Amino acid sequence: MSEFLYGGHVSANGIRQHYLRYGGNAGARAQRDAVIIVPGITSPAVTWGFVGERFGQHFDTYVLDVRGRGLSAAGDTLDYGLDAQGADVLAFARALGLARYAIVGHSMGARIGIRAARANPAGLTRLVMVDPPVSGPGRRAYPSQLPWYVDSIRLARQGIDAEGMRRFCPTWTQDQLRLRAEWLHTCDERAVVASFEDFHRDDIHADLPALRVPALLMVAGRGDVIRAEDIEEIRGLLPAVLVARVPDAGHMIPWDDEAGFYRAFGDFLGAPLVCDQTAA
């Protein structure tokens, strides 16, 4: 049985924001904080639907289309900076009347979550940072290259199938490739370029000492986004941070090791993300 409830739009922070809702707030979920999932740089909300399904078994879950992705607002005059993206999430929560909520952000979405949490907003209870890029001024560059994103987006705008997408994501399953091929064209190239460049212009480390909510850092065991020395630096800036590793996953953790991804949360969000269809 699917936990998907509906997709919707809301006007928040001056733009149209699109989201997918899973689970709802009935039963045991009513006693738990809602969860807002913020995907990465070229991941529309729909591509996180399988994660939304699992979260929806336990939490009232909202998967957000970041501005310039999916069905949210895009345009050549839109601000694609990290401050605007962080403000979007907080305005989204207010517009939906979420009294208590956690943010789970992946990659770019983790950086957005950090910037949002820096404001110490009322209602925010927890932050999960899933393999955030730790690049910034004077720091090691993000390991992915901008042409990887731009070239695949341009091909998707022309029309590309799963096999055409395979050279960009060779380890993905056929279903994952089909979904990316279907939705990647909705990622505005201007938004993606701006976000990628901001990986190297914005230093999220400066935000960490201001965080006042419990935080979990989830690290991929494969790949080169976060190294051991990066974990130690983050611990120095945010001493109470919890760290969970997913050894068998690369940067796209739930794609590489979905079970390991859910296990890594433990009960940090208030309930474990176990395979239990009766947990709602």
On whether the CB atoms of residues 225 and 251 are closer than 8 A, the answer is: yes
The predicted structure's pLDDT at residue 279: 38
pLDDT per residue over 153-170, tens digit each? 999 999 999 999 999 999
Q: Is residue 234 predicted with pLDDT exceeding 70?
A: yes
pLDDT in tens, 22-75: 999 999 999 999 999 999 999 999 999 999 999 999 999 999 999 999 999 999
AA identity, residue 121: P
- The sign of the torsion formed by the CA atoms of 149, 190, 109, 98 equals negative
Percent of the chain clearing pLDDT 90 (strictly above) = 97
Give me the pLDDT at residue 212, please. 97
Beta carbons of 255 and 262 less than 8 angstroms apart: no
Residue 223's pLDDT band, with cuts at 50, 70 and 90, is confident
The reported pLDDT for the residue numbered 278 is 40
Residue carrying the six token digits 């690369």: 250
Tens digits of per-residue pLDDT, 195-217?
999 999 999 999 999 999 999 99
pLDDT class for 280, splitting at 50, 70, 90?
very low
CB 57 within 8 A of CB 84: no
Whether 277 shows a pLDDT value over 50: the answer reads: no
Domains, the chain: 4-144+203-265 (3.40.50.1820)
The percentage of residues in the chain with a pLDDT greater than 70, rounded to a whole number, is 98
Whether the predicted model's global pTM rises above the 0.95 cut: yes
pLDDT above 70 (res 268): yes
pLDDT number for residue 275: 60
Is the model's pLDDT at 239 over the cut of 70? yes
